[in-house]
Structure formats: C-alpha cells, structure tokens
Structure 1
Amino acid sequence: MTIKPLSFNKISMGRAWRIEYEGALYHLISRGNDGQHIYLNDADRNLFLETISEMSERFEVDIFAYVLMPNHYHLLARTNRANLKKAMQWFGTTYTRRFNNRNLKKGHLFQGRYKSILVQNDAYLMQLSCYIHRNPLRAGIVSRLIDYKWSSYPIYAYAKKSPDWLSTQVILSYFKDSNKHKQYREKVQKYAEEEKQLLEDLHHGMILGAKTFVNKIRKQFLPDIPHNDLPQQKQLAKDIKLDDLLKKSAEILQIDIDKCVQAKRLHGIDKHKRDLIVYLLWNKGLMTNEKLGQLFNMSYSAISHCVKSFKEKMNKDKKVENQFEVFNSQFKL
C-alpha cells in the first residue's frame, strides 16, 4: 500500500519522524521561511557551500549531490554516524547566523522543519542525483542545465573542478567507459522519462525504496504505539493493518490477492469477492477512492461505481448484506 505523491516537493512539512543509523542515506530538502530567498547574492551562495563543507567534515557526512534554488535547497547525503538531527541542526543554525550577520538581518531564515527522505541504498543515487540536478529546469530558471552553476551538475556532466567535500566517485562509477561525464549528461537528459518510477517507490513521504526495505525499517524503528504527533509513524502502522487485512481477506474468501489487486477486469465470483474487499476498506475509512484505485488498478470513477453498486446489492439482497456483516465482524481495526 504505497502512497504515491506527485513530487518530492509536495511532501507534508508536519512534525517529522527522523530515522537515524550509521550509513543512512538521505534526500534532504529545506525551504526559506515563508518562501523567502535563502541567499541574496553569490557571496551568500558561496557561504552556504562553505558551511556545507564544514558540516561534512565536522559530522562525517558524505555529500553526493546538491542544488541551490532561490528559496530552497536539495542535498543527497549519507551520515557515517547516526547523527542527522545534530548535523542538520548545526548547519541550519550556523548558516542562518552567518547569513544574518552578512546581510544585517534577524530572525529565522529556514522554514521550521527540513524534509528528510530515507533512501534504501546506493542503487537510488543515480536517479536521485538526476532528479536533484533537473530542479532548475523544472522551475523554469534555465532552459539548459549548463547555464546553472549553483549545483553539482557541472561537476558530474562537464568535469568541472569538484570541492573536496563532494563525493562523486560512487555515482560516476555506474559508467564503465572513459567518457563518464558525457554519459552522465545523457542520463540526465533522458531522466524525465524515469521520474515517475522513482516517485512510485516513495512511501509516506519519508522512505524511498522497495517494500521489503520499508518493512525492515518499520520492524526496527516503529514503536509499538505510534506517537500522536508523528503522522508518518501512524501511516506505517496503518500499513500493517492493511497488509494484515488483505492477507486475512484472501484466506477467508479463498481468493488470490495478487490477482485481485492486479487484474483490471474480474468476472463472476472473483469480481464479487474483490468488490467485497473494496467496500470493506472504503467502509472502514482505511483508504480514499484514489488510493483504492491505485491498489486495485482501477480508476477513481470505477471505485466509486464499485462502492455504490455493492451498497445497492446489500440493500436488495439480504444474503449479500449478511455476508458483509459476517466478513466485517472478523476485523477489529
């Protein structure tokens, strides 16, 4: 049950649950307070990068890619120690103080909470670097990425001089031929076609990876009772309920759940059982029509029709109503 946002930039900024461990890989995003610019000139941008350099050395954080946008930034980073919160707190406080001193300003520079997306492993580094580097294109700031110098793209794509704190070897090692920089340029140019696939692996706006990785993180870090102020913990806990419900539904109804959720068209008793599960999920409020459509490979309108049709069946046929009541009574969610 993966919730699929359309963009990394649309992730909720409510109180965040930070998952930390040695060697953890993150996509980090932070915005200016009330959308304000977080640098006023190139001197500020250089100051920003100098502060990133200090954070990298002080907290043993590897930086793989970055882009400085007018009112936000993206970093692709690995913490060699389990210290994301300390590193990011130091960076935010230090850069804000330096920025304010330089520009005779006061107060907060960054929006309250930065976004941190936990990434499964290095297999996502290439895709994420492409996503990060294409930001100026998506924002319409430039028509050619070579014209935007405030990112690590020129280093990867044109072999520009790399600062000591930027780790480029891992991503460039994906290319075997000698002209790795040209191959990287071509990869970024073609990347728009792959972006949707990357976003499909984003779970609850906080974990990027396969479902097996999400389950591993859930087992290791999710407390028995999710914190009321941490919606991401609640979402992961809800995943357990949905998984258990689908598994139990398949056992009770004696249906292949994979067939149930993947087939666009079902007929006869298989369709009736699928509709029964859809109505149960809808009736318990566990999923919206949109999410039900994603899960069962159906359109929004098809889900609406399915729910309406099953309601009518129950109203007309006491056996169907009784079947649902018996089925529903076996789930306490």
Structure 2
Amino acid sequence: MSRPLRIEYPNAWYHVMNRGAGYRNIFSSDTHRMLFLDLLSQISKMFRVEIHGFCLMGNHYHLLIHTPEGNLQRAMRHLNGVYTQRHNRLETTDGPLFRGRYKAILIEPDAYLLNVSRYIHLNPVVAGVTSSARTYQWSSYRYYMGAKAMPEWLHTKFVLNMLGRQQRRRSYRSFVEKGVDDETQLFYGKNKLPAVMGSDTFRESICSRLPVNAEIPEIKKLRPVPSVLAIIQAVSLVFASPEKEILQAVRGRGMKSHARSAGIYCCRKFAGLSLNEIATAFGLSHYGSVSGSVARFERQICEDAGLAELVHEVEKKINE
C-alpha cells in the first residue's frame, strides 16, 4: 500500500486527523487527553506550528493546523510518536496505537477554513456525544466562545476575524449552530477523503508544486481530467499526425497507426475513460477492441524506447 500524499509548503493550512488502530480508544481517560494537549503545546514551540482548532474524541482526533515553515510531517511524527510511547507506558502495553501515520487535508483558507473549523467543532455533536458543542470539554470551541484560561498555544483570532471585527464570537456561534453545510458534508462523506479541499484554481496551484508522476493516485485525482480533444491535440502534435486520422481507423504499421493507438492508450491511461467511452470516441464497434489496442500498445512502448519517449511527451503536453 502506498503512503498518503504529503503536500508541504510554508503557510499551508491543514485539517489533520488520526484514528486508533482497529478503532481502539486512544483517549481512555482525562489523563490521556491532557497528555495529548501538552504535546500540542510542545509541537507548537518545537516546530513553530500553529494550532487553530482541536477536538479529541474517544478513538480519534481532529486538528486545524497552520504551518508557517511548511514542516507538518516533522511535527506530526513527534506528536503521534511520543503520544504512542506515553500512552503505552500508562497502559503498560506496547505496539502501534494509530491505524496509520495520519490524514492531512490541505485547505484553501479563504474559501474553506471557516467550514472546516465548524466541522471539527461539531464532531462531538454529530457523533451524539453531546447536545451542544459549547459544553464539550475536549475541543477548542469553548475557547472560541471566550472561556477563560485558554492555552497559550491555541490560536482563535484568525478564524474569528474571518467573520469581521465586531461581535465575532457571537457571529461564530451563530455560524456553528447552523450546522455543517452540504458541501462540507459531501466532502467528508466520501469513502476516501481527497488530499485537497479547495477551488479548481487552488488545486491547480498545488499541482504545480508536485512532481509529474501519474502513477501516484492522489496526484492523478488532483489534476484536471483531460478531455478527449485535448489528448488528441497533444498526440497530433507529438506524432505529427492529423487529428482526423487519429480518430479514424488507418491501415498500416507506420506512424499514423502508432498515433491512433497512442490516442486510445492515452485516453485510457491519462483520462481514465471507460472502454465504451473510448470506443465511441474512436469509432470502434466494440469496447473489446479498445482493451486489445491498449494491451498491444503497452507492449510496444515497453519494447521501443523511442515510442515510450513520444508518449511521455504527450503526457507533458496534456499537463501543460
């Protein structure tokens, strides 16, 4: 299994979460919870990360984190590693505590930070643990509402100021009490959470920071899916073959037939189109013809380095 995609850069915002292995309870007492909060204080000082929200549930946690120095992995490695050690010492046990390293969703702050903050603070309400987010002791919401003795490592002003400078606590309470919005609910309701929460423009800016590596599934999901037309245009340029001849069956073993095979292959490889969709686009009578064409072309590019390089050029043009 591949590791989750990690996207780091200075001033990035994240919703970070992790769950106990096998859904085991990771906070079995207030002592455990206080230990975890102490470690949040520690990573805020050691790694200069900003904690803008938290919620500790029985078998998982949620954090809203800003990283001025782009070092989330280092901070989270320390948090999860040290907490596991201390938890196991308290419980006189050993072995992994969490089901994995952690899940970090990169957030476009201007558009989605408020919604994510609300989602985190409403987690115990949605789970049926409490009827009011304000009465839940182990989240940052009560500090957003002005509770005394706020931890020095917790930041609330940035999110509150997004609602204006006047009566911001009242505005935030009203905002939270409206409940999780449909868009956010849809995002978090997915079986596999995306790596980025943001607009198309934001996602494209994140893609520009990543390596061109179509074999990493989460990178493929971030990039816009190319259209058949965009693929055909790229193949036409690279293979020096008219678009019309790529879409129509051409007899022979020359560059023209290579171009058509490349077009079919790239529609499958880089756009993820179904066999039926490709068959329709290329005027084939049966989707089985597509499957056979893709398999043959894959063998050809394995045997022909020059052909493989042309396909790589097509991929680069598609992603430009």
Distance 2:221 2:73 in 1: 22
The 1:14–1:68 alpha-carbon spacing in structure 2 relative to 1, beyond 3 Å, is farther
Distance 1:148 1:187 in 2: 17
Q: Which residue of 2 aligns with 1:231?
A: 217
The 1:141–1:223 alpha-carbon spacing in structure 2 relative to 1, beyond 3 Å, is same
Letter in 2 for 1:109: L
Residues 116, 184 of structure 2: 8 Å contact kept: no
User: Does the residue aligned with 1:94 lie in a helix, a strand or coil?
Assistant: helix
Residues 206, 232 of structure 1: 8 Å contact kept: yes
Q: Deviations over 1:77-132 (max 9, x none)?
A: 01121211111111111111111122222111111221011112344221110011
Task: Give me the TM-score of the superposition, normalised by structure 1.
Answer: 0.66
Q: Does residue 245 of structure 1 match 2:233? A: no
Greater C-alpha radius of gyration: 2
Distance 1:192 1:81 in 2: 30
Letter in 1 for 2:226: D
Q: Deviations over 1:199-239 (max 9, x none)?
A: 29x9971011111111121122x22334x5x4213434xx4
Aligned with residue 69 of structure 2, among 67, 71, 81: 81
**Percent of aligned pairs with the same amino acid:** 36
Distance 2:179 2:199 in 1: 20
The 1:149–1:212 alpha-carbon spacing in structure 2 relative to 1, beyond 3 Å, is same
Distance 1:172 1:148 in 2: 19
Q: Deviations over 1:13-61 (max 9, x none)?
A: 9511211111111110111111111111011101110011101110000
Task: Give me the TM-score of the superposition, normalised by structure 2.
Answer: 0.69
Alignment of 1:67-146 (within 5 A): 67-146=55-134
Alignment of 1:160-175 (within 5 A): 160-175=148-163
Alignment of 1:275-290 (within 5 A): 284=268, 286=271
Aligned residues: 260
Q: Deviations over 1:277-326 (max 9, x none)?
A: xxx99x9485589xxxxxxxxxxxxxxxx97xx79x976xxxxxxxxx9x
The 1:59–1:196 alpha-carbon spacing in structure 2 relative to 1, beyond 3 Å, is closer
Q: CA RMSD in A?
A: 3.7
Unmatched 5+ stretches in structure 2: 235-263, 286-292, 294-310, 316-320
Residues 28, 75 of structure 1: 8 Å contact kept: yes
